Structure 1
Amino acid sequence: MLREILIGVDLGTSSIKVVAFDRAGRALASAARPCALSQPRPNWSEQDPSAWWRAATQAMKAVSRRIDPRRVAGISFSGQMHGSVFLDARGEVIRPCLLWNDGRTAPQCEEIIRTVGREPLLRVLRNLPLTSFTLPKLLWLKQNEKANYRRLRTLLLPKDYLRYRLTGRAAMDESDAAGTVMKVIGERRWAGEILAQLGLDAAVLPPLIGSAEIAGELTPAAARATGLAAGTPVIAGGGDQPVGAVGVGVFVEGQAMVSLGTSGVVLAPTRAVHLGGEHGLASFDHAVAGSRYLMGCVISAAGSLQWFGDALCQAEAAEAKKARRNLFDLLLERAAQTPAGAEDLWFLPYLMGERTPHPDPNARGVFFGLSTRHQKAHLTRALIEGVNFALRDSLELMRARGLAINDIRVTGGGARNPFWLQNLADILGQPVRPVENPEGGAMGAALLAGVGAGLYKDFNEAARRAIRVGDRVRPRRRDVRDYEQRYQRYRRLYPALKDLFVQYS
């Protein structure tokens, strides 16, 4: 029997999605389930890994009913990065997972830099610790939940936990491991010397494997839970950002991916290993073997729009529901009718702190310049412009490192909105291209499965067969000039407010 179906599992912050693709990248079946988020204290963000497993098995079973499971060549993963899944000796979850957007570990980040030193951290890890990353979460557990730390035997990242439940084998792929700031970038080894200086036990870290390597096979118990066939190859997968980049065909220097999801990301592949650490810019291993990337992250991108809609747009939500329209399409349609610059209204998208270019867990969201002239559409436009300005911050840092980026591909929910795309092109001052396949993360995971299972010779063949990129959205010359001036003014807001963020935190 010809085995040519590929399954991509995309574990995000708000949901988990499972998609079955054919070799040409056409979606055959898909299913999604929500993932609940817990914020037990200010600046904390957690999820229950057992809930991920329940959601994943439900979604896989729904997909398996619409395909022939015997024809599946492989399964792989895209997963939210940096989260800490703590397992005991029996493989049971010890406590809820601390997520990528959890900001409680600022004291641990400072302690790591103070204990190890900036220069050794940059020399070995190529990055400095941020509250998003996994190393400070491990140190937090040791310092604040001593009994749980004594029980700890294995530390996994979110999608690794799902793979562990499917195969019974604990492992971590190199692309996701890079985001822990416990792995040596460009090498397949943990930085045991760094952990030893912090009094942490490297034995809790699992074996490292490549993103396109086979990590195991579906166990009979997992087959019963998912409806898929026992023995199906399970390929390692990777972090959501590098796997998303694979899913849009971004793995060569000169390209960049902009992801307009809950968080906003600018990711640019590089041949060389660059230093990260400055201004929250990360330098990690790509999911494509031998490649690296620089990455900047805006913690609240589409998440800012989600907050705005939930908190302030009940009337519009009712109107959209009555008209059977998407609320955010309605909001952005009205925002597009307001002038560029939203009549001198500014938005800082720091609703949960920020990472790039201001690694500051105390930063907070701000509408600046409100007047009686401003209506809700102005606020919506200012919000989109503020997110796009923040994304440009990351692109400018990469340009300063000497990267010449000439192919920007856009993915995520925001990529489907013409106004957001055009405004992004205007603010970046470069053409952007949406990726027509909306399943970026799941698509990337499926391509990893295809390369790992031998269905594609390499990633170039996978991209040619499966990825479809839309037409260029070109920047409008007049708006580029206007936004260049506005961007310089935007950049002055955070320095002016930085001390106040600390005082009022």
Structure 2
Amino acid sequence: MTAKEVEFDKHPKNSEYYISLDIGTTSVKVILFDNFGKMASISTHEYSLYTPSEGIVEFEAEKYWKFCLLGIKEVLSKSGISKKDVKSIGVCSQGETLICLDKRGKVLCNAIVWMDSRSKKEAHEITKALGSGAITGQLGCEPAWPITKILWLKKNAPELYAKVDKFILVEDYIIFMLADRFVGEYSLYASSFMLDIYKKDWWDDILNYVGISRDRLVILKESGRVVGHLKSDVCDETGLTAKTVVVTGAMDQTSGAIGSGGISSDIITETTGAALAIFATIDKKPSIKRCSIPIQCHAIADKYLLINWCPTGGMAFKWFRDTFFEYEQQLANEQRKDCYDVMVQSAEHIPAGCQGLMFLPYLAGGAMIDTGYNSAGVFYGIGLHHRRGHFVRAIMESLAYILRENVEMMTRLGIHCKEIHSLGGGAKSLLWNQIKADITGKPIVTMRCSESAALGTAILQSVAVGSYGDIEEACRNMIHKEAVIEPNEEATKLYESAFSSFLSLKSKIMQK
């Protein structure tokens, strides 16, 4: 577990403040923003997932709240602002992770994390019984979706299942702990396989099939809506006033789209974090019949997102660090440096295309529409001339190839991308940004605020409490670009054949 403090510019005396709780797969970040999009303070707490056997991925759900509460107190202490100036708290979180509560609101078991694949059999059963579930916006039922895990619990842990009063997701849990309300929002449940994204209501067919009633689920609202005021015990522990309101946020990737300014259809946003996520905003109600990419509800009312992902995108980079840079990581920790910088340096002088070395980043199976959960990671084309730097760059290039593949798919669906907004830890690497620009042939735009998901949640809060009239106005005032990385034409031409080779390798491997 680590916590860090970051120094920021001074804030005008008339600033209003919003606290964003960003609950990711491997960390909780609590960030205090002002109404100009500047961070006043940040607290980060990292944690490890519980993976006792193949396919099982869990986490102690109570710790999500523990780290949120600790982070709130830390950012308030570090910032030195008056607590009465904090207008609201909002949450953005990982999607799909399931939490089970009893009638007293107590956690019954570990949270089943989104990448847990124990419910493969149940996912297949649901698909066979109800089809691909087109009205959910998905192209099939995957074991990541919470409904499959609920069915798994019903079959494999009936005593536990019978005790469950509420099946909720991470954002819902934190809202409950803050405001004592069981409220969720559409963007988070768009990947649950329980939501009719067109009616914005629960899909009764799946609820009836699994055998769960609506009263075991949350009440659904739009993102950026006031839920209620902070509970008195939270006020007592944090020092915040009872006037501080709790606001519905969004699924982290959706919130990141807002926080990076990706609110129009000519911008594609990608996040290279633990997972690689690629998404684009669409203004019209989509037709799943002609769409080759999953559709989700946007955090902006009446808009939708095309979103695709690779579960172990950035996590593949972390796996390589932990496995092949152990000494460098230990040394970096002692010197208070970042081992990722050492890895990137090893790849800087490797030529584009890695001299024939390629990588498929499916270390925990795939979730892209044309792969699947039985996919595997592969290094291909290894020769005696390859060094560690080649492998590092091959990982970086593989995610850029997947990004280009999705940009081309979205283009065929009528999304005419003028630039790609890059988020997540991967966006901090100039080399990686250049690789993405060269392979896609599109400008890569990074943001001054590296915490775009949390900023997106702050933007939603700013509109909810009346600081701004709408999302567009809030974005104009709170989002600031950092850099634009243009593609290198020579490198783009060189990558054409490498990209074709990557697609060919992927196709052959996936057929096995």
> Structures share a fold, TM > 0.5?
yes
Residues 158-307 of structure 1 mapped to structure 2, 5 A cutoff = 158-275=170-287, 281-307=293-319
> Which residue in the other structure is 1:439 paired with?
451
| Structure 2 residue 82 is the aligned partner of structure 1 residue 68 | yes
Q: For residues 379 and 115 of structure 1, what CA distance do their matches in structure 2 show? A: 43
Residues 51-200 of structure 1 mapped to structure 2, 5 A cutoff = 51-65=63-77, 66=79, 67-118=81-132, 121-123=133-135, 125=137, 127-200=139-212
Residues 430-469 of structure 1 mapped to structure 2, 5 A cutoff = 430-469=442-481
Structure 1 position 439, deviation (Å)? 1.4
Aligned length: 498
**Structure 1 stretches lacking a partner, 5+ long:** 501-505
Residues 126 and 275 in structure 1, CA contact (< 8 A), matched pair in contact too: no
User: Aligned match of 2:43 in 8, 18, 31?
Assistant: 31
Q: For residues 269 and 318 of structure 1, what CA distance do their matches in structure 2 show? A: 42
> Which letter maps to 2:120?
A
Residues 342-357 of structure 1 mapped to structure 2, 5 A cutoff = 342-357=354-369
**Taking structure 1 as the reference length, what is the TM-score of the superposition?**
0.94
Mean Cα deviation higher: 8-17 or 138-147: 138-147
> Which residue in the other structure is 2:491 paired with?
479
Residues 22 and 28 in structure 2, CA contact (< 8 A), matched pair in contact too: yes
Q: For residues 397 and 3 of structure 1, what CA distance do their matches in structure 2 show? A: 43
| CA deviations over 1:148-171 (Å, ceiling 9, x no partner) | 111111111112101100100001
> Which letter maps to 1:363?
S
Mean Cα deviation higher: 305-314 or 325-334: 325-334
> Which residue in the other structure is 1:393 paired with?
405
Q: For residues 305 and 286 of structure 2, what CA distance do their matches in structure 1 show? A: 8
Residues 123 and 143 in structure 2, CA contact (< 8 A), matched pair in contact too: yes
Question: Structure 1 pair 447/110, CA: closer, same or farther in 2 (3 Å)?
Answer: same
Question: Structure 1 pair 37/275, CA: closer, same or farther in 2 (3 Å)?
Answer: farther
Cα RMSD for the two superposed structures: 1.9
Structure 1 position 364, deviation (Å)? 1.6
Question: Structure 1 pair 363/81, CA: closer, same or farther in 2 (3 Å)?
Answer: same
Residues 265 and 295 in structure 1, CA contact (< 8 A), matched pair in contact too: yes
| CA deviations over 1:404-457 (Å, ceiling 9, x no partner) | 111311111111111000000111121111112111121111111111111111
| CA deviations over 1:67-99 (Å, ceiling 9, x no partner) | 221111111111001111111111111111111
Structure 1 position 321, deviation (Å)? 4.6
Mean Cα deviation higher: 379-388 or 195-204: 195-204
Q: For residues 345 and 291 of structure 2, what CA distance do their matches in structure 1 show? A: 34
> Which letter maps to 2:30?
V
Structure 1 position 127, deviation (Å)? 4.2
**Taking structure 2 as the reference length, what is the TM-score of the superposition?**
0.93
> Which letter maps to 2:32?
A
Q: For residues 194 and 368 of structure 1, what CA distance do their matches in structure 2 show? A: 41
Structure 1 position 344, deviation (Å)? 0.4
* Secondary structure, aligned partner of 2:196: coil
Residues 279 and 358 in structure 1, CA contact (< 8 A), matched pair in contact too: no
Q: For residues 348 and 288 of structure 2, what CA distance do their matches in structure 1 show? A: 36
> Which residue in the other structure is 1:381 paired with?
393
Residues 212 and 448 in structure 1, CA contact (< 8 A), matched pair in contact too: yes
Residues 274 and 313 in structure 2, CA contact (< 8 A), matched pair in contact too: yes
Structure 1 position 315, deviation (Å)? 3.1
